Chain A
Amino acid sequence: MSHIKSIKFGLLSPAMIKKMASVEITVPELYDSDGFPIDNGLCDLRLGVIDPGMRCKVCGGTIGQCLGHFGYMELVKPVVNPLYGKVIFNILRTICRKCSRLLVDEDEVKKSGLKGAYKKAAKTCKYCGEKQKDISFEKPTTYFEGRRKITPEDIRERLEKITDRDAELLKIKGGRPEWMILTVLPIPPVTIRPSITLETGGRSEDDLTHKLVDVVRINERLKKNIELGAPDFIILDIWELLQYHVSTLIDNEIANIPPARHRSGRALKTLVQRLEKKEGRFRGNLTGKRVNFAARAVISPDTRISLNEVGVPLCVAKELTVPEMVNKINIGKMRDYVLNGENYPGANYVIKPDGTKKKVTEENKKEIAKELDIGYIVERHLVDGDITMFNRQPSLHRMSMMAHRARITPWRTFTLNLTATIPYNADFDGDEMNLHVPQDEEARTEAEMLMLVQNNIRSPRYGLPIIACKHDHISGSYLLTKEKKIDKKDVAQLLLNAFGPEFVMNNISEMGPCSGKEIFSLLLPEGLNIEFRSATCMGCNKCQKEKCPYDAYVVIKNGRLLKGVIDENALGEKKGKLLNRIEKQFGPDVAGKFLDSVSKLVLEFLTKKGFSISISDCDISKHAENMLNRAKEKTDETNKQTKKHKEDWEKIIIRAGNEIVNKCGEIVKNDIKENNIIVMVKSGARGSYVTVTQTSGVIGQKVLAGKLMKRGYTNRTTSHFVRGNLDMESHGFIKSNYKNGLSPIEFFFDAASSRENLMDKSLQTKHSGYMERRLINALQDLKVESDFTVRDSRHIIVQFVPGEDGIDPAKSDGGSINMEILE
């Protein structure tokens, strides 16, 4: 085997193609009647071996040793390489048709290059005085001079005459320009186009072989016709056909020519198609590869496992294995794994010190277990506590792939803690996720230290918790900490359900009937002191702090919650001040445990208490209903105004719309008493007063393309209105609410604007996905070196201080450093 020292991109010369080749291909048939490869056919044995047991005629290698050898085919008439169509066109109109010297000044060529120089081309050659003709190009491979076609033969003749110096000026690198016209075709080795033996015994050839057969066949036909002295038009026809086949051999998706098809009607995958696009050689096989020790399954929530864990189905755990080196200490355990065989927890393979791998089966497991010794490697099943990597696409930030400890379950889905859904952006409506098992100690250690969920609680994007409480966690802790008094019995039951008997025994002595705040305080670490406003804060003009009448000011002293309710501002993503402080002050271990126990306790409490909503939670009083109607009467008034001030009717409608919505929002907010929907809104668990207002108050103005509804018929939005109507109702203002229902026209406006939002969203994700890809590609090699400079892969400095301020946002407090809590 030789080693690659360098790669040069350029054109192959006909001489080089022949030199590389081990055989000339002249026969379009592949096999003779015995099924044996025909000499000088496209499966000639000198092109390499694809059948096991055969030896290569050229190098003598077997299937793995011989990489294959190129062949060549002499084209009877030259053809254009379709990939250089445009380049050839530009050259042709920059050089003289007779002597091939440049038609432009050297300086001009240097300035505007091959792509622009033709614009300044002289009409007569200054070297030979030849008058030039107009050259046109018909994609992909046809050239005209005036009305006459220029044959590839003529083109080649012209290109041959270009001096090396002129070629250099035209920036033609990597070979002579005439090599862009093919006279000899390299035939790729069979190893890159292997045939498949079907169950029926027949052979199915690769797309590339099919295409090559076409090329050889046409070439031979052309040769015969020329030998027979066939008329010119027939020769030209076949020549053109040869051009088509060579073109599609190289690229089968060229515009303006029909792609070559398989018998089934499927377009053939030829050379360019093998390399291009996402599934092509570069992006599909080199940049990204498929891996072993990975699994993919639907995900489900599990409130009882830690955020650092992932539930792995037993059937998956039996397929995914961890290689473990046998040593003095673990030999007994390893022997047990082998003896279990395929019964969990068992082993699938054993690797001997000499590198041979053996599958553990029911028959040989006893034998292997006996043989097992220090230095053997056992590929054992995945067990509880193994480090795995869990991922959900699209992987937009580094928290899209985190390390979890495996927890083997009898179910059929991967399960994860709800706090981990935020960074993955996962839900359980059928989402699937991937699981990988690192195979060596270094990878496992690195994954555990850098990627474990609890070590990624703080997002490097904004320096605040991204792994946090959500939905029921928030409404649950709000309701719990609002509770004034809970019976001793209920407290014990709650804690037993959430944390088990041991926890209850340890805390029972001091436990009497107590408040929700006292129970919550059990989870807070000692030494924690913090005060902040909760999400339920009414934003009074002068905050009364701990004397807040709404219990919206949180006071925690030495780990005891004294005042205030715990909600989104304490535990939520980005906003959770309590969670943020615990992570900062006590580290990821304590923060991880805190999140685990909060979610367990709170969900247990909420389950016991019961938490449900219904449409009647949006009911409002008769009195409020009347107030709403009065507020909506403003539309009539506005409609009169728009008739008067026709120039700025839009402004008037928008202002009136806002006024009505605000007023109705106020009415609804003041009227609805605290029910479960309002609990969710106030605590920040889900929804907002806007949605509540839309449900029981008014929906408001709908917009399309950032403006009022204006499109549709001539001078009106739908045919239900008079032309030139300037009423609010005809331009997208929806007076109804979702609870009472919309009128058909209102419904249409609502749907139009919803459709716009939906389209915008799906188009946006496409854009941001591609932007992300480009950014990742551009920045992937940048790294903070040990001397605290940011450098690229050539060790050239990019930043002298990382991020200009030297702060790691993933270890900061909202992007900066909080000096107050630094000791």
Chain B
Amino acid sequence: MLVRGVCLAEKKTKIDIFKNVLVPKHEILSEEEKTNLLEKLNISKEQLPKILSNDPAVKAIGAKSGDIVKIVRKSPVAGEYNYYRLVV
């Protein structure tokens, strides 16, 4: 598996990582959504969980440092669960 991944990367072939069942949906919050979220939680954005800007999913959706990504995870107990992470 790993060997194949390296080969594809060398050939500059794009793979859609979101097609993999284990990768949850990531999306960038708009400015408005961002302020709404922080207001709702009554926190500064540094108090959000972090995600590295070189995370494959972050790169794939083109999020930049300072953005907040919303991650919609499948949860065995809650069906769907929204998680928010600050790109650093």
Contact = CB atoms under 8 A, between A and B. Distances in A.
Interface string B17-42: 00000000000000000000000011
A797 B81 contact: no
Given A787-B41, A787-B42, A796 B47 contact: yes
A805 B41 contact: no
B77 interface: yes
A800 B84 contact: yes
B3 interface: no
A310 B7 CA distance: 68
B47 A803 contact: no
A591 B46 CA distance: 46
Contact of A797 (B47, B77, B78): B47
Contact of A804 (B42, B46, B77, B84): B77
B41 A797 contact: yes
B47 A800 contact: no
A796 B48 CA distance: 6
A192 interface: no
B6 interface: no
Contacts of B82: 800
B71 to A, nearest CB: 11
Nearest to A796: B47
Contacts of A804: 75, 77-78, 81
B49 interface: yes
Nearest to B49: A797
B43 interface: yes
Contacts of B75: 804-805
Secondary structure type dominating chain B contacts: mixed
Contacts of B47: 791, 795-797
A279 to B, nearest CB: 38
A800 B83 contact: yes
A807 B77 contact: yes
A801 B78 contact: yes
Nearest to A809: B77
Nearest to B48: A797
Interface in A769-794: 787, 789, 791
Nearest to A807: B77
A803 B78 CA distance: 9
Contacts of A806: 78
Nearest to A806: B78
Interface in B59-88: 75, 77-78, 81-84
A779 to B, nearest CB: 15
A11 interface: no
A789 B41 contact: yes
A310 to B, nearest CB: 36
A796 B49 CA distance: 7
A722 interface: no
Interface residues of A, number: 15
A797 B41 CA distance: 10
A798 B81 contact: no
Contacts of A801: 78, 81
A805 B78 contact: yes
B77 A803 contact: yes
A807 B77 CA distance: 9
A806 B42 CA distance: 19
A804 B71 CA distance: 13
Interface centre among A798, A800, A801 (most CB of B within 10 A): A800
A536 B49 CA distance: 51
Contacts of A789: 41
A797 B49 CA distance: 6
Interface in A165-224: none
A803 B41 CA distance: 17
A805 B49 contact: no
B61 to A, nearest CB: 20
Contacts of B83: 800
Contacts of A796: 46-49
Nearest to B73: A804
Contacts of A803: 77
A801 B78 CA distance: 10
Nearest to B76: A804
A795 B49 CA distance: 10
Contacts of B49: 796-798
Nearest to A795: B47
A807 B76 CA distance: 13
A797 B47 CA distance: 6
A366 B83 CA distance: 68
Contacts of A815: 77
Nearest to B83: A800
Interface in A571-591: none
A797 B84 CA distance: 10
Contacts of B84: 800
B36 to A, nearest CB: 14
Interface in A744-790: 787, 789
A795 to B, nearest CB: 6
Contacts of A805: 75, 77-78, 81
B25 to A, nearest CB: 16
Contacts of B43: 797
A804 B82 CA distance: 9
A795 B47 CA distance: 7
A470 to B, nearest CB: 30
Nearest to B79: A805
Nearest to A794: B47
Interface in A797-823: 797-798, 800-801, 803-807, 815
Nearest to A788: B41
A791 B49 CA distance: 10
A789 B47 CA distance: 11
A795 B43 CA distance: 10
Nearest to A803: B77
B42 to A, nearest CB: 7
Contacts of A795: 47
A791 to B, nearest CB: 8
Nearest to A798: B49
A803 B76 CA distance: 10
Interface centre among B41, B77, B82 (most CB of A within 10 A): B77
B87 to A, nearest CB: 15
B34 to A, nearest CB: 15
B76 to A, nearest CB: 8
30 contacts: A787-B41, A787-B42, A789-B41, A791-B47, A795-B47, A796-B46, A796-B48, A796-B49, A797-B43, A797-B47, A797-B48, A797-B49, A798-B49, A800-B41, A800-B82, A800-B83, A800-B84, A801-B78, A801-B81, A803-B77, A804-B75, A804-B77, A804-B78, A804-B81, A805-B75, A805-B77, A805-B78, A805-B81, A806-B78, A815-B77
Closest 8 CB pairs of A and B: A805-B78, A805-B77, A804-B78, A804-B81, A804-B75, A796-B47, A804-B77, A797-B47
Given A787-B42, A804-B81, A807-B77, 9 more contacts: A795-B47, A796-B46, A797-B43, A797-B47, A800-B83, A800-B84, A804-B77, A804-B78, A815-B77
